[in-house]
Structure 1
Amino acid sequence: MSDNRKITASCLLKVNGSAVRVQLSPAAIYGGQEGRYRVRVNRIWRNGHDGNPLFVDRASLGVLLADLMCAAPTQKTTCPNLPTDARVSVTIWQGDEPKQFSGWTYSTPIRADDGLWYVVVSAAGRRFFARCADVRLLPPAAQPGGLRRRLCQS
């Protein structure tokens, strides 16, 4: 399988004692506008808040680099208590309006490169990564038997 990546520019930043590698590729390769770039930070492509590829122009790139340079030190946060196969309530944003859906977790939380915790949930007829801040564990009475016993013991 051929790789159509074409890195046209890169830079290495040192932020809070850690190296941050930023790479640019022409957006046109990925369906973006001519004159824009797709950005890769530490070997991970940046996406917008909607989950689609993020394409930046020069001004947006400057803002992104400034944000990376001024980033606060990574805070050590504990993993949220969202076990696998748990009943949850998930907030899904539709436009500017939050909607609540019942669902299940399909993984334990993971911490992404943006520093936020995510968990795979099944809600509203689909499976997706949801921010743990938008997921609330339902009370033990709503949980399946094995998980209910574990939650009641702790």
Structure 2
Amino acid sequence: MPGKLVIAATFSVRVGSRRVRFEISPAASHGGPEDAYRVRIDRRWHDLDGKPLFLRRPELAALLADYALGGISEPAPAPEIPCPSRVTVEVWMDGFPCWLGAWTASPPILAHDGQWMVAVSYGGKVEFLPVKNVRIITKNRRNDG
């Protein structure tokens, strides 16, 4: 009779409206390496072609991230806007778009909605604006030539 199943951790990940249950068992209990784990997903062993699959921490983290973030796309790379930089920003005044001179007050940050934002200083205030509304000033317009 096999020994009692040893579960080191149990947790669930909610993916959309579906909850996925994970159970992690030390691989040594299943004839695997000491520094690895065997994983059950919704009460079924996560195996490779019917053979026990043993995962180390990085592989386990990748598996969990795939389940949890599978439907979320990778964010775009951070835009190249150094801080401080002279920029123009699009702001709306009286229902019309205006481009004003400004300075960046932070490097770009990734907002919770997946948009890159940058803090800019203009008109006596500092405000976070979407990077798509910020243009770096590269040349002096009077001396382009």
| TM-score after normalising by structure 1 | 0.44
Looking at secondary structure, tell me which structure has more helix per residue: 1
Question: Larger Cα Rg: Structure 1 or Structure 2?
Answer: 2
TM-score (norm 2): 0.46
